[in-house]
Amino acid sequence: MDSRLRGNDECGVAVTIENQDALSEIASAATLAELEAIRVRMLGKSGTITALLKTLGGMTPEQRQAEGPKIHALREAVTQAIADRKATLEGAALEARLATEKLDMSLPVSVGMQGSVHPVAQVMDELAEIFADLGFAVATGPEIEDDWHNFTALNIPETHPARAMHDTFYFPDAEDGRKMLLRTHTSPVQIRTMMTEKPPIRIIAPGRTYRSDSDATHTPMFHQVEGLVIDRGIHMGHLKWTLETFVKAFFERDDIVLRLRPSFFPFTEPSAEVDVGFTWEKGRRVIGGDPTAANGGWMEILGSGMVHSRVIANCGLDPDEWQGFAFGCGIDRLAMLKYGMDDLRAFFDGDLRWLKHYGFAALDVPTLSGGVGA
């Protein structure tokens, strides 16, 4: 390569660059900042080499053929030299840092602000794990529902008193005439699942539910989990075993007894409310132990039953072929019983002190597969 390149830039100013000068200047740049200044001066928008490149436009084809490769070669050589010098300077800077910095592995770590897993989320995870072991999938549905999925399909016709019992939040009607509402329970997910999936079905559906209600044990938004099994030949025995297995796994005790009390839900027949045995231990009601003992008693924890044949038919399935059971349970209450909170409203206040006290470490959540509390 010629050691000297000459060209005329657009303004007709002669541009001359000594190759060796350029390269040795780059090689002797002492700092990254100095190197960057050189780069801008040579390759920047109004840099010398950029100007040289621009002169190509004003040359005759013959000139361009002769000068073009030289100018491009110069640009490449300079670009490469800058990259090389940069790597050398950066390497030296790193070496210098490594030589002076010390890392004391014995110093305490500053953890900073850490979030925590809300007890409701924690319980939902536990439910998903317990039921996954029993072959249940997790299903979801919309929180803004229509009254057909929330009531009618569940065998709660318009005139049914159960509609009035659910203090429902209604929206203006949808354009297609559907009555829209905030779902009052997770049961509509049963309907949606039966309508979209082929049996056998085994799902739980945890999620938010809404009713116009507020005191120490009721909040306008709360959480439920729905369970649904649809298969051939399902009976109450399956229901009882499933609930017993679930409750024992959830409360981590084997000495838990359940009592199924005849009840009524429009979407199940027969229906049963499920009580769980508890005992007073150190001033606290603890799930488990002998409910007939002097310190014992029964507490209602969920509603359940065999899915009403009309509900199965409403979803397009043949009730003579398919049977099943369902249950519905308040998640917040499960959390309160297991982890010992007594005011439901605090769950949704967003008070960081409460969350810090009752929350779970995000990366250290006890899981059943890993052993609860392991």
Which lies closer to ligand DAH via its Cβ, residue 22 or residue 124?
A: 124
Which lies closer to ligand DAH via its Cβ, residue 304 or residue 323?
A: 304
CA–CA distance, 182 with 171 (Å, rounded to integer)? 8
Please give the backbone phi and psi of residue 287, each rounded to the nearest 5 degrees, phi first. -70, 130
Which lies closer to ligand DAH via its Cβ, residue 104 or residue 215?
A: 215
| Nearest residue (beta carbon) to ligand DAH | 328
The DSSP letter of residue 215 is: B
Six-digit token pair at 4? Answer: 């000297």
Six-digit token pair at 46? Answer: 């109004």
Minimum Å gap between C-beta 204 and ligand DAH is 11
> CB of 35 within 8 A of CB of 89?
yes
Which of 260, 259, 329, 254 minimizes the C-alpha distance to 288? 254
Which lies closer to ligand DAH via its Cβ, residue 260 or residue 365?
A: 260
Minimum Å gap between C-beta 241 and ligand DAH is 16
Residue whose tokens read 């905030």:
182
Minimum Å gap between C-beta 232 and ligand DAH is 19
Burial class (CB in 10 A: 0-12, 13-18, 19+), 45: exposed
User: How many CA atoms, within 13 angstroms, populate the side-chain half-sphere of residue 354?
Assistant: 15
Footprint of ligand DAH on this chain (CB under 6 A)?
Answer: 185, 187, 226, 265, 268, 303-305, 326-328
Six-digit token pair at 145? Answer: 């529902």
CA–CA distance, 315 with 325 (Å, rounded to integer)? 15
The runs of H, that is alpha helices, within the chain are: 19-27, 32-43, 48-55, 61-100, 119-133, 147-150, 161-165, 188-196, 236-251, 309-314, 331-339, 352-358
Which lies closer to ligand DAH via its Cβ, residue 326 or residue 355?
A: 326
Q: Distance of CA 211 to CAs 3, 99, 239, 346, Å?
A: 85, 65, 27, 17
Which lies closer to ligand DAH via its Cβ, residue 7 or residue 227?
A: 227
Which lies closer to ligand DAH via its Cβ, residue 210 or residue 278?
A: 210
Which lies closer to ligand DAH via its Cβ, residue 48 or residue 242?
A: 242
Minimum Å gap between C-beta 288 and ligand DAH is 23
Grouping H, G, I as helix, E, B as strand and the rest as coil, residue 142 is coil
Minimum Å gap between C-beta 153 and ligand DAH is 13
